[in-house]
Amino acid sequence: MLREKYKAEIDEILSRYPLRRSALLPLLYLAQKEEGYVTEAAMKEIASILKITPPQVYETVTFYTMLNLRPVGKFHIQVCKSLMCALVGSDTLLGWLEVRLGIKPGNTTKDGLFTLSKVECLAACGTGPMMQINDDYYERLTEEKVDRILADLKRDGTSSLKSGPFMWPERTDG
Amino acid sequence: MTMAKPKYELILLKNMLQPGYTGSLADYERAGGYQALRKILGKVAPAEVTAMVTKSGLRGRGGAGFPAGIKWGFLPKDYQGPKYLCCNADESEPGTFKDRQLMERDPHQVLEGIAIACYAIGAETAYIYIRGEFVLGAKILEKAIAEARAAGYLGKNVLGAGVTIDVWVHRGAGAYICGEETALLESLEGKRGLPRVKPPFPATAGLYGKPTVINNVETLANLPHIITRGPEWFASIGSPPKSTGMRIFCVSGHVKRPGNYEVPMGITCRDLIFEHAGGMRSDKPLKAIIPGGASASFFTPEHLDVKLDFESVAQAGSMLGSGGVTVMEEGTSMVWAALRLMEFFHHESCGKCSPCREGSSWLVQTLRRIVNKRGRMQDLETLTDLCQNIAGRTVCAFGDAEVAPILSTLKYWRHEYEELIRTAEANGSSELLMPAAARH
Ligand SMILES: Cc1cc2nc3c(=O)[nH]c(=O)nc-3n(C[C@H](O)[C@H](O)[C@H](O)COP(=O)(O)O)c2cc1C
Ligand code: FES
């Protein structure tokens, strides 16, 4: 139950808004962090916390692409396929990933490690081709970089190739 | 790849380009940060601040280009209840990636802008609605807010002036339409992001039905500078009187040095692409430009000397929009480009208005048929007809946005559409109007 585990956090979130329902997205994120996706039980609990109905929660969840109603792999790879990235090779990037992972977009590898998705513009259009993996951006991707990232993730659960605070072009001292 | 020495005095990117600048509160203060807030809080009347912003000529950087001071002036004058400021950090227009840099590299500049706007409009609460994918940006902002609160720049009794300014970060969850201001409000209220019918405008009935101002990140980041250096100074930069100040253009596509460039409004497309962004990436010549994000009509090489200010770009048949400039080289199929953009719009249509919901799907199907060499000549008429039945017939400006790429590519590169269709006809691969089995 979210309420028991995250009481202080939930109270703090609720305190930011004059109307409880505004806390819906933040609470859904909390639920998704907990289980990896938004479960039916979580939706019911959130409805009761916010004093709205479960269908009101469900209709909101289904509107937003970042909320998962089904489990995804440990690493959710989202490749931007919108025009600006496509101009600089996002289809090729997707191809590399399909081969490396042995899956098509929309699927998860058998070991449950990677889910591959195609997504629309992630506001990194000047540093494409790019992908987001869980919370992190990876930009200006090349085949070698992709291999390193996948190996890093498998080995360490994280990769030093992820983007830091964004600036492009970079300044002279890096 | 690093930044060449800028040709102009930068305003918004100035701090972050200093070697060693981290965007911490200490760094920001050392660079003169929060002096604007100190200058006005409890010393200059809110209405006076609004007048300064109006005088500066600052226009919205989010897409529509509405004058900021005038927008603030629409709030009811004698209203006593709560008012809200929403900082639009949804940055969802394809081709745009400047707000991300402003927030992640100099968050206090944005926060000071928010505090100034809150003071001017009398809002005690501001929400930064940031796109869900910007996890790092949200973290950086939250840390900066905590720093600013501890230092007395935000929170209760800001700088001892008896003013409350609470700022919260609110993450979206993946929906382009939530960048549209009324969809943003719905989303912030915990609902599906469906745009509202206007009027009433947010200035009278916005968040929770209360008077609300929505401004883009870059718009707000300009405010401290307008206050510190004066509206006259700001109004003298760029293409006065209608397009004042600097603008961060996000250059993407087939150029040598894509990235964010802050330049005075009114420099030409040519200057931006060839001087700042380093020109074309290979020896293939330039073929097409999108001057203001995915919703803007395409430009051709003929438009290279168009000035990048609100009026000039509009006069040339497109819009300055969000400042996203995408460059395409010879060899890029314009029908394919239009399809890519249309797939985006189809995916992101919120479904509220039927012309957009159904029309975007038909447009994608028709374009895909043409690109896959299964088109037929009537498809061109169908495309035009569909576009004309979407634009102007929807609750929000999304409808006008989604048809711009198609109508403009049809206008300038109709022969590419026709060529694909002629190939289909010659191959006998044109899709029939009805499946063969259904025809008798
Ligand atoms: C479909 C659509 C998407 C939009 N997306 C954004 C966005 O991502 N960021 C933004 O600041 N404005 C966006 N806008 C413009 C906002 O509706 C609004 O005009 C703007 O945030 C106002 O701030 P400004 O006056 O400071 O530009 C969008 C508009 C439409 C119609
Ligand atoms: S088009 Fe890929 S991040 Fe914008």
Residues B214 and B98 in one domain: yes
Residues B132 and B150 in one domain: yes
**pLDDT per position as a tens digit, B42-67:** 999 999 999 999 999 999 999 999 99
Q: What is the pLDDT of residue B4?
A: 67
Interface test with B, best of A84, A135, A158 (most B CBs within 10 A): A84
Q: What is the pLDDT of residue B221?
A: 98
Domain edge (last residue) among B298, B329, B360: B329
B46 and B120 in contact (C-beta within 8 Å)? yes
Structure tokens at B432: 């029939």
Q: What is the pLDDT of residue B127?
A: 98
In a domain, B2, yes or no: no
Mean pLDDT score of chain A, rounded to an integer? Answer: 97
- The torsion angle over the Cα atoms of residues B412, B418, B423 and B428, rounded to 10 degrees, is 150
Tell which residue, B187, B139, B92, B140, has the closest CA to residue A23. B187
Residues B26 and B125 in one domain: yes
Q: What is the pLDDT of residue A1?
A: 83
Q: Which CATH class is domain A75-156?
A: alpha beta
Confidence band, pLDDT 50/70/90 cuts, at residue B380: very high
Question: Closest approach of chain A CAs to the CA of B188, in angstroms?
Answer: 6
Mean pLDDT score of chain B, rounded to an integer? Answer: 96
Closest residue to atom 20 of ligand 1, CA basis: B62
Query: Rounded mean pLDDT of B240-247?
Result: 97
pLDDT(B439) > 50:
no
B122 touches chain A (CB under 8 A): no
**pLDDT per position as a tens digit, B96-116:** 999 999 999 999 999 999 999
Residues B110 and B215 in one domain: yes
Residues B66 and B197 in one domain: yes
Question: Closest approach of chain B CAs to the CA of A56, in angstroms?
Answer: 8
Interface test with A, best of B91, B103, B108, B133 (most A CBs within 10 A): B133
DSSP designation for B165: B
pLDDT(A150) > 50:
yes
What are the distances in angstroms from CA B314 to CA B94, B95, B268? 19, 18, 14
Residues B21 and B102 in one domain: yes
Which of B64-78, B209-223, B421-435 is predicted least confidently? B421-435
Reply yes or no: is the peptide bond before residue B200 cis, omega within 30 of 0.
Answer: yes
Find, in chain A, the residue whose alpha carbon is nearest to that of B18.
A171
Tell which residue, B333, B337, B327, B282, has the closest CA to residue B301. B327
Residues B63 and B92 in one domain: yes
User: Residue B100's domain is classified under what CATH number?
Assistant: 3.40.50.11540
Residue B245: CA atoms inside 13 Å, Cβ hemisphere, count?
A: 30
Q: What is the pLDDT of residue A102?
A: 98
Query: Rounded mean pLDDT of A24-46?
Result: 97
Residues B53 and B195 in one domain: yes
- Which positions in chain B touch A63 (Cβ < 8 Å)? 175, 192-193, 350
In a domain, B422, yes or no: yes
**pLDDT per position as a tens digit, B275-325:** 999 999 999 999 999 999 999 999 999 999 999 999 999 999 999 999 999
The separation between CA B44 and the C-alpha centre of its own chain, rounded to angstroms, equals 31
Domain edge (last residue) among B301, B329, B357: B329
Q: What is the pLDDT of residue A171?
A: 86
Confidence band, pLDDT 50/70/90 cuts, at residue A172: confident
Reduced to 3 states, what is the DSSP secondary structure of residue B190?
coil
Edge-to-edge strand order for the sheet containing B84-89? B166-171, B125-130, B84-89, B212-216
Structure tokens at B76: 């009811």
């600052």: which residue's tokens? B58
Q: Among residues 79-118 of chain A, which lie with CB inside 8 Å of chain B?
A: 81-84, 86-88
In a domain, B3, yes or no: no
Domain edge (last residue) among B302, B329, B356: B329
In a domain, B1, yes or no: no
Residues B227 and B253 in one domain: no
In a domain, B295, yes or no: yes
Q: How far apart are CA A2 and CA B101, in angstroms?
A: 34
Give the sign of the dihedral formed by CA B30, CA B35, CA B37, CA B38: positive
Q: What is the pLDDT of residue B1?
A: 65
**pLDDT per position as a tens digit, A80-98:** 999 999 999 999 999 999 9
Reply yes or no: is the peptide bond before residue B241 cis, omega within 30 of 0.
Answer: yes
**pLDDT per position as a tens digit, B250-273:** 999 999 999 999 999 999 999 999
A112 and A63 in contact (C-beta within 8 Å)? no
Reduced to 3 states, what is the DSSP secondary structure of residue B268?
strand
Query: Ligand 1: does its nearest atom lie under 6 Å from the Cβ of B93?
Result: yes
Helix ranges restricted to H, chain A: 2-5, 7-15, 24-35, 40-50, 54-61, 83-87, 90-101, 143-156
Residues B191 and B269 in one domain: no
N- to C-terminal Cα distance for chain A?
A: 45
CA B97 to centroid of ligand 2, rounded, Å: 9
User: Which ligand has the minimum distance to the alpha carbon of residue A139?
Assistant: 2
Residues B296 and B354 in one domain: no
Residues B88 and B186 in one domain: yes
Q: Which atom of ligand 1 is nearest to the CA of B91?
A: 8
The residues spanned by each domain of chain A are 2-63, 75-156
Total tally of structural domains belonging to chain B: 3
Q: What CATH number was assigned to the domain covering residues A2-63? A: 1.10.10.1590
- Which positions in chain A touch B257 (Cβ < 8 Å)? 169
DSSP designation for B413: -
**pLDDT per position as a tens digit, B383-410:** 999 999 999 999 999 999 999 999 999 9
Q: What is the pLDDT of residue B440?
A: 47
**Domain limits for position B302:** 242-329
In a domain, B9, yes or no: no
Confidence band, pLDDT 50/70/90 cuts, at residue B7: confident
Report the amino acid identity of residue A169: P
**pLDDT per position as a tens digit, A110-139:** 999 999 999 999 999 999 999 999 999 999
- The torsion angle over the Cα atoms of residues B13, B256, A120 and B99, rounded to 10 degrees, is 0
Query: Rounded mean pLDDT of B361-379?
Result: 96
Query: Ligand 2: does its nearest atom lie under 6 Å from the Cβ of B94?
Result: yes
CA B90 to centroid of ligand 1, rounded, Å: 8
């009794």: which residue's tokens? B157
Q: Among residues 32-71 of chain A, which lie with CB inside 8 Å of chain B?
A: 50, 52, 59-60, 63-67
